[in-house]
Amino acid sequence: MRPVAFDYVAPTTVEEVVQALSDGGEDATVISGGQSLLPVLRMRMADPSLLVDLRRVDSLREIRDDGDNLVIGARATHRQVSTDPLVRQHAGLIAKTAGSIGDPQIRYRGTIGGSLAHADPAGDMGAAVLALNGSLELTGPRGSRTVAGGDFFVDYFTTAREPGEVVTAVRIPKHDGWGSHYEKFTVVVQAWAVVAVAAAVRVEGGQVAEARIGLTNMGTTPLRAAAAEQALVGVAAADTDALRAAAATAGEGTNPPDDPSGTPEYRRHLAGVLAGRAVVKAVEAVA
Amino acid sequence: MTTTADRPDTAEVGQSRLRKEDRRLLTGRTRWTDNLELPGMVHLALVRSPVANATITGIDTTEAAAAPGVVGVWTGEDLPEQGAMPIAWTVSDNLKVPSLMPLAVGTVKHVGDVVAVVAATSKDAADDAAGMVDVSYDELLVVMDPIAALEADSPLVHPELGTNVCATWGMDSVALGTGGDVEEAIRAAEADPDQVVIRRTLRQNRITPAFVEPRSIVVDPTAEQVTMWSATQVPHILRILLAMTQPVDEHELRVIAPDVGGGFGGKLQATREEALVLLIALRLQLPVKYTETRMESMQSAHHARDQVQRLTLAARKDGTITAFDVDLVADMGAYLGILTAGIPLLGGFMFNGIYKIPAYRFFCTDVFTNKVMTDAYRGAGKPEATFGIERMMDELAVELGLDPIEVRRRNWINPDEFPYATVAGLTYDSGNYDQATDRALELFDYDGLRAEQARRRESNDPVQLGIGVCTFVELSGLAPSRVLGSLNYGSGGWEHASIRMLPTGKVEVAAGTTPHGQGHATAFAQLVSDELGIPFEDITLISGDTATVPRGMDTYGSRSLVVGGMAIVGAARRVVEKARPLAAHLLEADPNDLEYDRGTFTVRGTDTSKTIPEIALAMWLAHDLPDGMEACLDSESTFDPENFSYPTGTHLAAVEVDTETGKVTLRDYVCVQDVGVLVNPMIVDGQVHGGLTQGIGQAMYEEIRYSEDGQLTSGSLADYLVPHAPDVPRYRTDTTVTHATTNTLGVKAVGETGTTAAPPAIVNGVLDALRPLGVTDITMPTTPLKVWSAIQAARSEKGGAS
Ligand SMILES: Cc1cc2nc3c(=O)[nH]c(=O)nc-3n(C[C@H](O)[C@H](O)[C@H](O)COP(=O)(O)OP(=O)(O)OC[C@H]3O[C@@H](n4cnc5c(N)ncnc54)[C@H](O)[C@@H]3O)c2cc1C
């Protein structure tokens, strides 16, 4: 079906976007890559009166080095993020994760800001941003603010974003020298993750010094596997069995969804297995 | 103008010609039904039932009728002229046929049943207004499982029929005179220490053909004939069925299947959507269009398979089979499509596979449930049967500790035993199972993989290797009309073709089989080129239109080449026979002194000759014809096969099972087919690749799921997973050739081989990998969750036992 009729504007600055959203009221909706919004509109599961398109706001496409952080514009496409030299150098996990989303067509259109704002617990990018302690920059009628990833994701398709606010960028602390891997488990190649694990490790003196593990589709929001992260510290980097054993608890205590691709029990088991695989590959990837 | 010099000097048959039709099909610059726009055309939107079983207590159309752009809104009560949808196969005397109206009257029986139709000046306006139609339902209890539907206290899908049993049908070797009594043979086996009896209950998952182009219909009632364009496989059959059931006569209706984007049996149907577009166009006297969404397709276009198979196989301990008993429960869904009730029966002729079985019985119970009707899908009954026998052959091998290839070899029909009269009453014309199997084993490196498998087992590798085997035969080339008659099928099985010789030396082939992706325009041109010596490029195909191709039985059951192709060859040979007297006249020779070779008549012993294009021109001019000769070279032919076509082959799958995650990966797939003489090897390969991918889909990924209360929970391609190119290996195919003896070309069918052979090959492979872990069965699709759960269950059972 075609969407219900709506008005459409495509401003060129963030200020105009915020203005348009506030003029449009409750039913005004941001459209970025449209890869999640358009299906919703076409199935008539939403009928916004106004779409505010970000496509002409050039500043939102920028990816820049901000000292200790990398700042990725919300409008950067998955394709751009996955191939950008800065992202690959300082936040390899984000680049790898972006490269795993959907298929090439989706990656050329879908954006990092759209993925995070959409907050589908099966979406890939949330776990990676959480794992790297990333945060989101938002601008609204009352100005700009920064929200930590852990605070941004609130519930199933729900974020801390206030009505009228737009995500402008994702801020990722640089993880130079870390190894990372995004282990995504799907039933067919081009499908959403049954479960996925984002892992980043820092190795010092042959041992894991720090580990970060993010989980996709293991709850109503992306999650961190804190216990497994702790268990990994001090494990010999060359001992793959020990790495796997330490990561195996990644699914514990989670409450993942129950659907034809996986029962909660299966998903918890998978999370442990995939975390092990992700950590081993992350260790191998350490520069 | 074509001259002798242009005559192709090598035979076209056997060449991998690139497909003539691909440029337009692959770029989409073609006439898909939904691309058609007619002046004044209105668009339909259908209001479908969101519940699976209910009495309609009220439909309020006032708001919809007043909405902008709306031309009309109708409910079942408003269309007294609508006729019940037809069925084309009265399988048995006890068949119960529920009434299926294009627009539901009073009740709905599955999610997706059509309760109202809105016509508007644009598709958007129609969709908007359809959302305003307010339907109230009084919900009734549903029955979703075919076995539960047979229980005495089950809710009835159609209370007026008094039962959920749609029909029963059986055959056995005693009645057929082809073998012994199954029950006796099984009793004897049970009492015999030298025999084994294996009983298994297998399941066929419910799947959907998932054609790329959704169904689409345009009807234009504004000319001498009412014209319907439909994305159908069966324009000719559709015309007859609509004329028989709806308020239009056959001579008043023209049906056109323009380019059609895949069907796989899913468009072998007369649908309520087609009837509705026709009915509304007749009402409004305006052109009308309806194109379904994918979601509508999933909840209204027929599904397939969905069977419970209770199988009993008896065999001697040396592996020779002594009896096979098949007891099926087949899920019809809520209504009957044109072939719904008969699809499982087709399997009855194939459960014996390629084997010599001395006693056989087949019994099928067709059952109604509150789901979408099932009907034909690539293979139609035969993949189900092949799955049953080929899974059982592996079970037998395991039971007896034999190699699965060896156990098959001990039972299959030997090359010197053809033609072979089977226990199911068919006669297989030709085949050589040893040759195909030996070639497949060699390509596959069977011994090497067995060695690797042993290593992985020994080392407890988390990734286990399984080898899946399927040796199959397929009943194709529908169909000898007499056989269809004996099965109470509602039509003949012949095919028709005509050849039109144009004065410029070019040729139009009008064929009664209509393509929806198979490459007819290419393969048929190759056939005609060899018969008439006309260059491949100078031959064009006309098909899919009841006005330009008046006779035809359309495309399904792998019949286009083995039946349709024979009609074409027959028509071409008639052209030659008609040309001969004129050639003789022009060459001033006796017709008996003429030699004919691919397009050229030569006076024996001379170099004076006339080509078919020269004769075509002379015929058209008609200036110098022998007295009494009719000035026409065009010819037609109708071919009715005497037997079916029996393609065979051996498929071998190497599957890796990740025991930690349950994920199954197809590492290698080898198949060697015997499809007789190859007209176009590339097209044969394409048919095999596509069929395999769909068969792999059924085995590993695809499943139509309903919730207990009848909601379709796999209603989009996000939930109904079909394999993508990276999910399947690079297939390794080869062919062996034994000539079919049932047609003069020696060709056999190929279209359905992949969907037939792949599912058992893969499931056998997965089980081969997992048996050492204690897993004894797994249902399709073999999803990671299911495989992992099966491993867990087997482990805990083992743990419990120790
Ligand atoms: C076939 C298919 C397969 C896919 N597979 C995957 C997959 O495997 N993994 C995966 O992670 N994703 C997948 N996706 C989703 C894809 O990643 C989308 O790109 C992403 O979910 C949304 O990004 P977008 O830019 O397209 O956002 P849009 O669709 O434009 O917007 C999505 C939502 O976010 C809001 N929004 C967008 N941008 C902003 C902003 N800057 N500020 C505030 N709100 C905003 C919109 O209002 C809307 O509600 C798939 C999509 C499709 C169609």
- B114-144: pLDDT as tens digits: 999 999 999 999 999 999 999 999 999 999 9
Residue B800 pLDDT: 59
Supply the mean pLDDT for chain B: 96
Substitution target in A42, A100, A188 with the highest count of B β-carbons within 10 Å is: A188
Phi, psi of B205 (to 5 degrees): -70, 155
Contact call for B785 and A261, based on CB within 8 A:
yes
pLDDT, tens only, B573-583: 999 999 999 99
Task: Average the pLDDT over each of A43-52, B96-105, B567-576 and give the range with the smallest value.
Answer: A43-52
Within a domain: B746: yes
Q: Which residues does residue A268 pair with via DSSP β-bridges, in sequence order?
A: none
> At A42, which amino acid appears?
R
Q: Are B630 and B599 found together in one domain?
A: yes
d(CA B241, CA B84): 11
Hey, what are B650's tokens? 């051996």
pLDDT, tens only, B318-368: 999 999 999 999 999 999 999 999 999 999 999 999 999 999 999 999 999
C-alpha pair distances (Å), A240 with each of A204, A245, A248, B663 = 16, 8, 12, 21
> Between helices B753-770 and B784-801, what is the axis angle to 10°?
30
Within a domain: B165: no
Cis preceding-peptide flag for B479 (omega within 30 of 0): yes
List all residues of chain A from 44 to 103 with a beta carbon under 8 Å from chain B.
44
Residue B379 pLDDT: 96
User: Which residue in chain B is spatially nearest to A273 when comparing CA positions?
Assistant: B660
Substitution target in A270, A274, A277 with the highest count of B β-carbons within 10 Å is: A270
Residue found under tokens 């000769």: B629
DSSP B362: E
Residue of A4, A188, A270 with shortest CB distance to B661: A270
Candidate of A30, A36, A130 to mutate for ligand 1, largest count of ligand atoms within 8 Å of Cβ: A36
Hey, what are B153's tokens? 């206290």
Interface of B with A (CB under 8 A): 123-124, 127-128, 131, 293, 295, 660-663, 701, 703, 705, 713-714, 718-719, 721-724, 726-727, 783-785, 788-789
Question: Quick check: B752 pLDDT over 60?
Answer: yes
Q: Which residue, B247, B277, B300, sits at the end of a domain? A: B300
CB A179 within 8 A of CB A283: yes
What is the average per-residue pLDDT within B548-577? 96
Question: Quick check: B802 pLDDT over 60?
Answer: no
d(CA A281, CA A270): 16
Within a domain: B240: yes
Contact call for B293 and A273, based on CB within 8 A:
no
Atom of ligand 1 nearest to the CA of A74: 41
pLDDT, tens only, B375-409: 999 999 999 999 999 999 999 999 999 999 999 99
Contacts of A188 in chain B (CB under 8 A): 701, 721-724, 727
B28 contact partners, CB below 8 Å, separation of at least 6: none
Residue B4 pLDDT: 47
B77 contact partners, CB below 8 Å, separation of at least 6: B105
**A1 at interface of B, judged by CB pairs closer than 8 A:** yes
Residue B29 pLDDT: 87
Q: Are B692 and B788 found together in one domain?
A: yes
Rounded to a whole number of angstroms, the distance from the CA of A157 to the nearest CA of chain B is 18
Within a domain: B166: no
> At B134, which amino acid appears?
D
Nearest to A17 by CA among A77, A58, A62, A76: A58
d(CA B37, CA B762): 45
Phi, psi of B800 (to 5 degrees): -65, -35
CATH of the domain at B130: 3.90.1170.50
> At B202, which amino acid appears?
L
Q: Are B622 and B663 found together in one domain?
A: no
Q: Which residues of chain A have pLDDT under 70?
A: 287
Q: Which residue, B607, B639, B671, sits at the end of a domain? A: B639
Pairing status of strand A50-53 against strand A7-9:
parallel
Contacts of A274 in chain B (CB under 8 A): 661
Within a domain: B191: no
Q: Are B123 and B221 found together in one domain?
A: yes
CB B558 within 8 A of CB B749: yes
CATH of the domain at B392: 3.30.365.10
Within a domain: B209: no
B215 contact partners, CB below 8 Å, separation of at least 6: B230, B231, B232, B267, B271, B273, B291, B292, B297, B301
Q: Are B465 and B334 found together in one domain?
A: yes
Residue B1 banded pLDDT, cuts 50, 70, 90: very low
pLDDT, tens only, A203-227: 999 999 999 999 999 999 999 999 9
Q: Domain limits at B529?
A: 4-30+494-639
Contact call for B714 and A270, based on CB within 8 A:
no
CB A114 within 8 A of CB A77: no
Contacts of A273 in chain B (CB under 8 A): 660-661
Residue A240 pLDDT: 97
User: Which residue in chain A is spatially nearest to B784 when comparing CA positions?
Assistant: A187
pLDDT, tens only, B199-214: 999 999 999 999 999 9
Residue B445 has, within 13 A of its CA and on its CB side, a CA count of 8
Coil, strand or helix at B668: strand
d(CA B323, CA B327): 13
Residue found under tokens 């007619």: B38
User: Which residue in chain B is spatially nearest to A5 when comparing CA positions?
Assistant: B124
Within a domain: B90: yes
Closest residue by Cα to atom 40, ligand 1, is A167
Residue B8 banded pLDDT, cuts 50, 70, 90: low
Within a domain: B408: yes
- The ipTM, to two decimals, is 0.96
Q: Are B8 and B21 found together in one domain?
A: yes
Residue B716 pLDDT: 93
What is the average per-residue pLDDT within B29-50? 96
Contact call for B293 and A1, based on CB within 8 A:
yes
* Domain count across chain B: 3
H or E segment and range at residue B586: helix B566-587
Hey, what are A172's tokens? 């990722």
Contact call for B789 and A266, based on CB within 8 A:
yes
Rounded to a whole number of angstroms, the distance from the CA of A2 to the nearest CA of chain B is 7
CB B55 within 8 A of CB B138: yes
> At B670, which amino acid appears?
V
User: Which residue in chain B is spatially nearest to A261 when comparing CA positions?
Assistant: B785
pLDDT, tens only, B263-309: 999 999 999 999 999 999 999 999 999 999 999 999 999 999 999 99
H or E segment and range at residue A224: strand A223-224
Residue A43 pLDDT: 87
Residue B627, judged by CB atoms within 10 A of its CB (0-12, 13-18, 19+), counts as exposed
Share of chain B above pLDDT 90, in %: 97
Q: Are B679 and B627 found together in one domain?
A: no
Kindly provide the residue ranges of all beta strands, DSSP E only, lying in B614-687, ordered along the sequence. Answer: 635-639, 648-658, 664-674
Residues in contact with ligand 1 by the CB-under-6-Å rule are: A 29-37, 39, 54, 74, 101-102, 106, 110-111, 113-115, 117-118, 123-125, 166-167, 192
Q: Are B593 and B741 found together in one domain?
A: no
Coil, strand or helix at B716: coil
Determine how many CB atoms are found less than 10 A away from the CB of residue A94: 30
Closest residue by Cα to atom 41, ligand 1, is A167
Q: Are B434 and B323 found together in one domain?
A: yes
Q: Are B378 and B500 found together in one domain?
A: no
C-alpha pair distances (Å), B701 with each of B131, B657, B759, B782 = 33, 15, 11, 7
Residue B7 pLDDT: 59
d(CA B392, CA B219): 49
pLDDT, tens only, B452-481: 999 999 999 999 999 999 999 999 999 999
Q: Are B633 and B764 found together in one domain?
A: no
User: Which residue in chain A is spatially nearest to B706 when comparing CA positions?
Assistant: A260
DSSP B414: P
Question: Quick check: B3 pLDDT over 60?
Answer: no
Q: Are B650 and B778 found together in one domain?
A: yes
- Rounded to 10 degrees, what is the CA torsion of A163, A169, A170, A176? -170
d(CA B563, CA B615): 28
Residue B21 pLDDT: 94
B93 contact partners, CB below 8 Å, separation of at least 6: none
Residue of B131, B705, B727 with shortest CB distance to A188: B727
Supply the mean pLDDT for chain A: 97
Residue A2 pLDDT: 84
Q: Which residue, B639, B657, B682, sits at the end of a domain? A: B639
Nearest to A153 by CA among A197, A180, A123, A196: A123
A255 contact partners, CB below 8 Å, separation of at least 6: A219, A264
Strands lying side by side in the sheet with B304-316: B165-172, B360-368, B321-333, B304-316, B195-207
